[in-house]
Amino acid sequence: MEFIVYEQKGAYGIITISREKALNALNSSVLDELSATLDAVNLDEVRCLILTGAGQKSFVAGADIGEMSTLTKAEGEAFGKKGNDVFRKLETFPIPVIAAINGFALGGGCEISMSCDIRICSDNAVFGQPEVGLGITPGFGGTQRLARLVGAGMAKQMIYTARNIKADEALRIGLVNAVYTQEELMGAAEKMAAGIAKNAPIAVRNCKKAINEGLDVDMDAAIVIEEKLFGDCFETEDQRYGMAFFLDKNKEKVKEPFKNC
Ligand code: DAK
């Protein structure tokens, strides 16, 4: 791998997009490597992922403008599909993904963070969808995911004006859940990942599926999705153990890690 660093730390993994000289901009190789990295995550052991960018300045400064500048229509479509496939793979990845946004998150950078389940950022983070200034529309899901996250009015304002916003505004509009100093960001992301990894893995995966799939359908259909995924937790070892532990009156007993089965 040239542009992606993957490190497994016990029950969680950290994916770092590492193309610092171009502020971690997404070219075809980065997208291919990210896809291959996700395919190789050991889902028997890893229960949560963190996605971040290398260096102190940028999470991802967008799709690679140099590479895009010479694309034909057909190549543009192929590049768009490559990006959308990886972003969708992240979004539907069986385990939660936390975006730890450590600087610029522009264009495709903002879009990739929105394909993650949870976004937290450092106080130097900058978000924006500058595409209309480049003569294109946001092409990696920005028009769809931003509107769903922050509402159509705010998404339209950000996209039509191509104006960047800082971390405090991103927090105010609900684009990120929390802002940390640059020094604290990764510690906070790792603490959250470890906390998620401690919970019953099948239940956490089913929650992700229920929320994501439920948001795409009407409430009657969404409730059916929830019922099915709720039912699927029963008869798992984790459900039996989790409930038995609660019902056990022996307060001295220490909770064992969940087994993912
Ligand atoms: N692409 C390629 N290189 C980039 C880049 C990018 N997006 N962003 C930065 N770089 C490179 C710079 O060219 C520079 O390279 P050298 O000159 O050193 O070789 C290096 O990173 C450092 O950047 P700067 O010198 O510009 O650093 P500054 O601190 O002065 O400025 C900045 C930082 C982030 C404000 C600035 O670099 C900037 O405005 N970058 C571009 C941000 C941007 O517009 N991003 C959105 C790109 S458009 C599609 C699907 C998706 C998309 C498109 C189509 N289809 C479905 C077909 C997505 C589009 C986008 O993401």
74-96: pLDDT as tens digits: 998 899 899 999 999 999 999 99
Beta bridge partners of 8: 13
232-258: pLDDT as tens digits: 999 999 999 999 999 998 888 888 889
pLDDT at 172 over 90: yes
CB 76 within 8 A of CB 21: no
Phi-psi bin for 55: left (phi > 0), alpha (psi -120 to 50), beta?
Answer: left
Q: What integer pLDDT is reported at residue 251 of this predicted model?
A: 81
Q: Judging by beta carbons within 10 Å of its beta carbon (0-12, 13-18, 19+), is residue 190 exposed, middle or buried?
A: middle
Question: To test the ligand 1 pocket, which listed residue (57, 64, 65, 104) has its Cβ within 8 A of the most ligand atoms?
Answer: 65
Is residue 178 within 6 Å of ligand 1 at its C-beta? no
For the segment 211-232, the average pLDDT, to the nearest whole number, is 97
- Spatial separation of the C-alpha atoms in residues 42 and 49, rounded to whole Å: 11
Question: To test the ligand 1 pocket, which listed residue (3, 23, 72) has its Cβ within 8 A of the most ligand atoms?
Answer: 23
- Spatial separation of the C-alpha atoms in residues 17 and 165, rounded to whole Å: 22
Is residue 80 within 6 Å of ligand 1 at its C-beta? yes
pLDDT at 260 over 90: no
Residue 139 pLDDT level (bands cut at 50, 70, 90)? confident
Query: Of ligand 1's atoms, which has the minimum distance to the CA of residue 133?
Result: 44
Residue 131, token pair as written in the block: 């595409």
Q: Which of 7, 45, 131, 169 is catalytic?
A: 131
- Spatial separation of the C-alpha atoms in residues 183 and 123, rounded to whole Å: 10
Closest CA to 102 of 115, 120, 129: 120
111 counts as catalytic:
yes
Q: What integer pLDDT is reported at residue 150 of this predicted model?
A: 97
Q: What integer pLDDT is reported at residue 252 of this predicted model?
A: 87
Residue 36 pLDDT level (bands cut at 50, 70, 90)? very high
Is residue 173 within 6 Å of ligand 1 at its C-beta? no
pLDDT at 202 over 90: yes
